[in-house]
Amino acid sequence: MRAVLAIAKKEILSFFFTPMAYIVVASFLVMNGFIFSVILAALSQPGSSSASPMAIFFGGTMFFWIYMILMAPVVTMRLGAEERKSGTLETLMTAPVSDVEVVAGKYLGALALYGAIWLPTLLYGWILSRFSPVDWGPVWTGYLGVVVVGMFFLAVGLFTSFASRNQVVAAIMAFGVLVLLITLSILSILATDPFWKGVLEYVDLWGAMQNFARGMVDSRQLVYCLSGTGLFLALAYQALQARRWA
Amino acid sequence: MIDVRDLVKRWGDKEAVSHVSFTVGRGEIVGFLGPNGAGKSTTLRMITGYLRPSAGEVFLDGHSVSQDSKAVRAMIGYLPENNPLYEDLRVREYLEFRAALKGIPRSARAKRIQAVLEACEVTEVADRIVGTCSKGYRQRVGLSDALLANPPLLILDEPTVGLDPGQVVHTRHLIKQLAADHTVILSTHILPEVEAICSRTLILHQGRLLFDGTVADLHRGLSGAGHVLCGVKAAREAAQACIASVPGVSQIAFLEEGGGVARFRLTAPGGTEVPEALFRACAQANLPLVELTTEKVSLEEAFLSITTRESAQEVLA
């Protein structure tokens, strides 16, 4: 655990040493702030729906997914690829630390960064509460969705980063996998065959996020995200192990 | 301390390391010598547990590297080839990270880091960003990391590559000091380095261990291929006839004749007996021997001779 925390801490530190960190965080906050204000403006129009702005913010727009698909690979792309390229993986893998601890430390670091990027959005809820009563239940389940979907996406990014020695290639591979995952959501809407529609509903992340944002926690969707996380973490571990045979 | 048994590493069907076995005792400084691509780094990587061997085993104080990898790694301070470091951290941050990885208790870390910074003389760059340090400093930062947990075994892969002559001397001096209470394995393709630092040499070529012995053995083993220079105060023909009668001389090369002295260069696989026999032969023939020198074989020659021959046994026979 000591090694896991040390690795996570080092990743957080290194992330903020790169200009990329500030570009990602700043553009994320600027764009989300803009989207949030657009949602508020639209809902303030007379005759508009009575939907909760936070519900639309988390699940209702494609912007949420565009950020998620772009941000997760940027947070994770350095983690393994940079170590391989610079050769520091050798010092890491010859330290008295198990490969599981290496994967766990890197992943924990990525999760912490991801959390730090989302943290300021809590202000939106606080701003809303100044002007109208806020139903906090769906806001918290919305954040639960942000956490579990984020866990899934970061695990994908960690795997591709261990699978490549080039950060950009790692990011593009992760991007490809994430686009595919979201395509499944679109397919589930388009599918007409009841069997396939049923199958695709299990892997419908967009629909899952809409449910979370409305305050509905469906255990099947939680299980899907968590098992996806587990699968890609296991793949990341395998990709790291493969270095010992190379 | 180290017991390497029949180690093999294959990449596809090419054997990068082929059935290498050796042992290293506590306190030895062993020089791992070989041309580039000989399999030195691959062997060291298998000892440190970074790479898994295709066959064979490595034991450190009885612990198997493959079965008990974590315990073994805790015993090793490793400076990999090209000394990879995290460029964006400060030297002290880097060492703090490494200390945490190596399980040095939080309370002891600052003291331990200060100790290695001083031992490797990097205190003055402790707060600089690693990426901005000169190559010499970076090398010593890598060395500080290897020393951090005060491991009994140091494995240094080409520790002086790319350093200027002053830094090379300094680094060698440091390694020699460390050898007082560490076992050291050092890889290099620089021969004088081995001669300057190591008590024992292993020569690796094309993945095979060709020589295992002391530096003195290396010289002695090759004095067989040595030469004797001599000058005889006599006519060339008479002198040559006399020398030819000396047992053990395989080749006589005439060099020059001047001032009544004929000079020759003899190839004498026999070693030390030849000069003595030559002296007696000349004395018997009443030809004054005015010059007699044994040419010491340089390590370079020894190395080339070993790596261009099929096996060390031939050389040592």
Mean pLDDT of A137-146: 91
B261-299 burial string, b = 16+ CB within 10 Å, else e?
Answer: bbbbebebebeeebbebbeebbeebebebbebebeebeb
Mean pLDDT of B260-266: 88
Instruction: For chain B, say whether A19 makes contact (Cβ under 8 Å).
Output: no
Q: Tokens in use for A217?
A: 């926690």
Partners of residue B87 in chain A, C-beta under 8 Å: 86
Q: Taking the alpha carbons of B90, B95, B96, B98 in that order, is the dihedral positive or negative?
A: positive
Instruction: For chain B, say whether A90 makes contact (Cβ under 8 Å).
Output: yes
Q: Establish, for the pair of chains A and B, how many residue pairs have beta carbons separated by less than 8 Å.
A: 74
Confidence of residue B317 (pLDDT cuts 50, 70, 90): very low
Contact B210, B302 (CB under 8 A): no
Q: Tokens in use for A190?
A: 């388009």
H or E segment and range at residue A244:
none
Partners of residue A95 in chain B, C-beta under 8 Å: 73, 98, 101-102
Q: Hey, which of A23-27, A40-44, B99-103, B172-176 has the most confident mean pLDDT?
A: B99-103
Q: What's the angle, vertex CA B177, arms to CA B98 and CA B62, rounded to 5?
A: 60
Taking only Cα atoms into account, the Rg of chain A, rounded to an integer number of angstroms, comes to 19
How is residue B19 annotated by DSSP? E
In chain A, the percentage of residues whose pLDDT exceeds 90 is: 52
The whole-number pLDDT of residue A234 equals: 97
* Cα–Cα distance, A69 to B104 (Å, whole number): 39
* Cα–Cα distance, B216 to B316 (Å, whole number): 12
By residue range, what is the domain housing residue A46?
2-242
> What is the pTM (predicted TM-score) of this model?
0.84
Question: CA of B93 to nearest chain A CA: how many angstroms apart?
Answer: 9
Confidence of residue B306 (pLDDT cuts 50, 70, 90): low
**Ranges of each domain in chain B:** 2-221, 226-296
B299: pLDDT strictly greater than 70: no
Q: Per CATH, the architecture of B2-221 is what?
A: 3-Layer(aba) Sandwich (3.40)
N-to-C CA span, chain B: 29
Quote the number of domains for chain A: 1
Domain at B226-296, CATH class: alpha beta
Question: CA of A170 to nearest chain B CA: how many angstroms apart?
Answer: 19
Partners of residue B71 in chain A, C-beta under 8 Å: 96
Q: What number of other Cβ atoms are within 10 A of residue A1's Cβ?
A: 8
The pLDDT tens digits of the residues spanning A176-185 come to: 999 999 999 8
**Which of B48, B82, B100 has its CB closest to that of A94?**
B48
Confidence of residue B108 (pLDDT cuts 50, 70, 90): very high
A89-104 burial string, b = 16+ CB within 10 Å, else e?
Answer: bbbbbbbbbebebbbb
Higher-pLDDT residue of B227 and B9 is B9
Residue of B164, B224, B170, B216 lying closest to B194 (CA atoms): B216
The whole-number pLDDT of residue B298 equals: 63
ipTM over 0.95: no
Contact A25, A64 (CB under 8 A): no
The whole-number pLDDT of residue B312 equals: 45
Q: Identify the residue whose tokens are 């595919």.
A: A180
Least confident interval from A147-151, A165-169, B10-14, B99-103:
B10-14
Which residues 6+ apart lie within 8 Å of A30 measured at CB? none
The whole-number pLDDT of residue B308 equals: 64
B314: pLDDT strictly greater than 50: no
